[in-house]
Structure 1
Amino acid sequence: MIEVTTTHLQQLSPDELVPSGRALPDGARIERVEAITPEFSKFLYRGVGSGWNWADRLALTRSAWESLLLAPGTETHVLYVDGAPGGYIELAGRAQGGATEVEIAYFGLFPHCIGRGLGGALLTEGISRAWDLDTRFEGFGAVSRVWVQTCTLDGPTAIANYQARGLRAFHTEREMASPGDGAVGMWPAESATS
């Protein structure tokens, strides 16, 4: 067991978004996945989260994973770099008494894209899409809040990136936890002689 600190951050207006000053490089683009499958979602989740102990979804059945993806207000945006996935952001909008709150459920980069200045651009796009999510889903009211939670098991620059995009911390909690191993079954261990 280790102590894990979870920080909750939010924006209460689209005017609070601070766009990244770095544009995507040539050969990079961000696209919404119109009809995401559980298989593609799990590929993204494992590719991004295996190094950060993302394991909460790994025990889900295909149908349980699919039901999360098909929930109204849920969408995934993928960063592609030279044709290959380089990261993603999953948004989960929920109606709250006539308004809509959007959680950044998952966000991150594949290992080969970390440190290349791509995270700010992806997060900027994701937050922008969160603020207009109500325009893509029938029955959703205007978005009143975009929020995310991150913890000390996530990437070391996660909080800084969220804050640089204008999200502000509103709650912090600490707990003892046994993190799951998001890398189980991902790759065999490297041998000492390789």
Structure 2
Amino acid sequence: METNETVSASNPVLPIGYSLVPKGKLANAVTCLEMRERPAGAASGERPDLSLERMSMPDIATYRQLFRAIGEEWMWVSRLVMSDEELTATLGDPKIEVHVLFSGGKPSGMLELDFRQAGECELVFFGVANDMIGTGAGRHLINQVLSIAWAHPIERLWLHTCHFDHPNALTFYRRSGFTPYAFMVEVADDPRVTGVLPRTVAPHIPIIE
């Protein structure tokens, strides 16, 4: 979920065939998806047991705690390695929206939308707590994304998912109306090796040192 979609000299096209990944690094297979209009019939729906609240100016400690709770098992790391100053500036941008899903008064999910590109919205982060997976909370939350994003004057809503995410993530996004348009590979430090994340998280992804 954290790969820039621009291909450049620093992000070249990979050669055909196998490419060796150095030990201590991870190769992340990314699928980029988009939608050009809100799907017909998409509705926010009602879930009296769930509520969504926007963080007007997120406290970075609270934000990082939620970020870890939702994304640690799926290797979300970019916000954890940002400096306090950079993260404060990012979250303080009026064109960045962070919304928190509550269940029984407990933070149980989050979404982050980036409207800084004119006419577009990136769904930067999206997820629910592990105990909410399979309850319909994710479906409710993505419907909220569609309602919020398409209430703005945009022509494109996009995101990226990867093989670090829940195994049903790609199918979920496609059923929600997103269409795949590109594949990317990101090579980065394994955050469990660098100590950013505990070594016990994301056991579905092996550590190679």
Using the size of structure 2 for normalisation, the TM-score is: 0.74
Structure 1 residues 184 and 82: alpha-carbon distance in aligned structure 2, compared to 1, 3 A threshold: same
Letter in 1 for 2:28: V
Is 1:8 the counterpart of 2:22? The answer is no
From 63, 69, 72, the equivalent of 1:47 is 69
From 155, 158, 170, the equivalent of 2:169 is 158
Structure 2, unaligned runs of 5 or more: 1-24, 202-209
Partner residue, 1:190: none
SS at match of 2:116: strand
Q: Distance in 1 between matches of 2:146 and 2:52?
A: 13
SS at match of 1:58: helix
Structure 1 residues 63 and 185: alpha-carbon distance in aligned structure 2, compared to 1, 3 A threshold: farther
Is 1:121 the counterpart of 2:140? The answer is yes
Is 1:168 the counterpart of 2:187? The answer is no
> Could you report, residue by residue, the CA deviation over 1:53-99 in whole angstroms, capped at 9, with x for unpaired residues?
11122122211111111123100111100000110100011233xxx
Q: Distance in 2 between matches of 1:107 and 1:172?
A: 19
Partner residue, 2:149: 130
From 77, 91, 97, the equivalent of 2:99 is 77
Structure 1, unaligned runs of 5 or more: 134-141, 188-194
Is 1:34 the counterpart of 2:56? The answer is yes
Q: Distance in 2 between matches of 1:54 and 1:126?
A: 19
SS at match of 2:134: coil
Q: Distance in 2 between matches of 1:47 and 1:17?
A: 32
From 78, 83, 108, the equivalent of 2:127 is 108
> Could you report, residue by residue, the CA deviation over 1:25-55 in whole angstroms, capped at 9, with x for unpaired residues?
x421122222322122212211111111111
Per the TM alignment, residue 166 of structure 1 is displaced from its structure 2 partner at its CA by 0.4
Letter in 2 for 1:151: C
Moved more, 167-176 or 52-61: 167-176
SS at match of 1:89: strand
Q: Distance in 1 between matches of 2:200 and 2:90?
A: 22
Q: Distance in 2 between matches of 1:156 and 1:168?
A: 17
Structure 1 residues 13 and 2: alpha-carbon distance in aligned structure 2, compared to 1, 3 A threshold: same
Q: Distance in 1 between matches of 2:67 and 2:52?
A: 17
Per the TM alignment, residue 4 of structure 1 is displaced from its structure 2 partner at its CA by 2.4
> Could you report, residue by residue, the CA deviation over 1:134-171 in whole angstroms, capped at 9, with x for unpaired residues?
xxxxxxxx211110011101111211221111011111
Using the size of structure 1 for normalisation, the TM-score is: 0.79
> Could you report, residue by residue, the CA deviation over 1:4-35 in whole angstroms, capped at 9, with x for unpaired residues?
21000111112467458x752x4211222223
Higher strand share: 1
Q: Distance in 2 between matches of 1:156 and 1:178?
A: 22
Aligned partners of 2:39 and 2:177 also within 8 Å: no
Q: Distance in 2 between matches of 1:186 and 1:64?
A: 28
Aligned partners of 1:18 and 1:164 also within 8 Å: no
Moved more, 106-115 or 83-92: 106-115
